[in-house]
């Protein structure tokens, strides 16, 4: 289906996509491009890509599918570097965790919105990064959200959808704004809470003792605080308004729990905890 796939940023997400598509036999050739030759050479050695170029113009030449899998803050620069070299018939998509900022960056980088651009976001990942962390089954059974624009070419949309389905993902569509609101609540807020909690504990005087006695619950709750700090800084700055709005709502709810504890209101605590347990049990089923 894809003759030449060019991936900008062959890390966890870009590398896993390449592996999944190669395993499915969907691509004739996969070309990688990023800043470090060492990382790209490693990607060839691991069998993730066929070849690479450090020159974005050369990397994108002849590509019929282009995937932007770089950090959010780097999307605009990559677009600017390929604007005069991208085949006008090529489909181009991204994997960024916030969509409004990527749409703005793509429009700015290209000088106008390319018709072949289909914003996308795989709801899959781990706390690890880099090509060595990539694996072909990362997207299997996971959701991929596409947020097509009014300008998006219907053929490009179909091609990007099929590409993700080939990885075993379930593809859904929604608006850019809705995506950013939903992800602020379900992904961005939990990551902020994990980073914030671990940082807060780490700065306490008794931190050695706290971490010595931390057990499974602490490990479960804070796993995502091992995620890439640069990526999460970019996400916070890129989806600022939606994140601020869910933080405000969460702060109100935390105040309610604080009040219940200080007033010794066990009924209130039980009501909150039972509602939360039922919701999580349903989610896990």
Binding site for ligand NAP (CB under 6 A): 8-14, 34-36, 39, 69-72, 74, 77-78, 95-97, 121-122, 125, 129-130, 228, 231
CB of 19 to ligand NAP, least distance (A): 12
Closest CB to ligand NAP among residues 61, 214: 61
d(CA 12, CA 130): 5
CB of 177 to ligand NAP, least distance (A): 18
Which residues lie closer than 8 Å to 29 by C-beta, 6 or more apart?
3, 4, 5, 50, 51
Q: Which of 145, 125, 100 has its CA nearest to residue 14?
A: 125
Q: How many helices (H) and strands (E) does the chain have?
A: 13, 9
Closest CB to ligand NAP among residues 13, 90: 13
Closest CB to ligand NAP among residues 69, 246: 69
Q: Is 62 left (phi over 0), alpha (psi -120 to 50) or beta?
A: left
Closest CB to ligand NAP among residues 36, 186: 36
Instruction: Output the six-digit token pair for 13.
Output: 């997400």
CB of 127 to ligand NAP, least distance (A): 7
Closest CB to ligand NAP among residues 74, 192: 74
CB of 106 to ligand NAP, least distance (A): 13
CB of 68 to ligand NAP, least distance (A): 8
d(CA 51, CA 41): 8
């Amino acid at each position: 289906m894809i003759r030449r796939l060019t991936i900008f940023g062959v890390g966890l997400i870009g590398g896993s996509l390449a592996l999944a598509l190669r395993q499915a036999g969907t691509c004739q050739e996969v070309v990688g491009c990023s800043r470090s030759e060492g990382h790209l050479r490693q990607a060839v050695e691991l069998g993730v890509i066929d070849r690479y170029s450090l020159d974005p113009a050369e990397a994108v030449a002849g590509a019929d599918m282009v995937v932007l899998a770089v950090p959010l803050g780097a999307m605009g620069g990559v677009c600017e570097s390929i604007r005069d070299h991208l085949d006008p018939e090529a489909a181009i998509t991204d994997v960024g965790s916030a969509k409004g900022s990527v749409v703005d960056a793509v429009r700015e980088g290209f000088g106008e919105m390319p018709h072949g651009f289909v914003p996308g976001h795989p709801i899959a990942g781990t706390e690890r990064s880099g090509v060595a962390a990539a694996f072909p089954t990362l997207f299997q059974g996971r959701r991929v959200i596409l947020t097509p624009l009014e300008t998006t070419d219907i053929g490009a949309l179909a091609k990007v959808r099929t590409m993700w389905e080939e990885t075993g993902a379930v593809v859904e569509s929604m608006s850019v704004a809705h995506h950013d609101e939903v992800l602020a609540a379900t992904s961005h807020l939990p990551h902020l809470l994990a980073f914030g909690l671990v940082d807060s504990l780490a700065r306490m005087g008794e931190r050695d003792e706290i971490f010595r006695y931390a057990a499974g619950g602490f490990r479960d709750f804070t796993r995502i605080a091992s995620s890439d700090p640069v990526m999460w800084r970019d996400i916070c700055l890129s989806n600022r308004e939606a994140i601020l709005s869910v933080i405000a709502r969460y702060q109100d709810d935390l105040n309610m729990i604080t009040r219940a504890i200080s007033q010794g209101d066990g009924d209130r605590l039980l009501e909150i905890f039972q509602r939360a347990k039922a919701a999580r049990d349903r989610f896990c089923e």
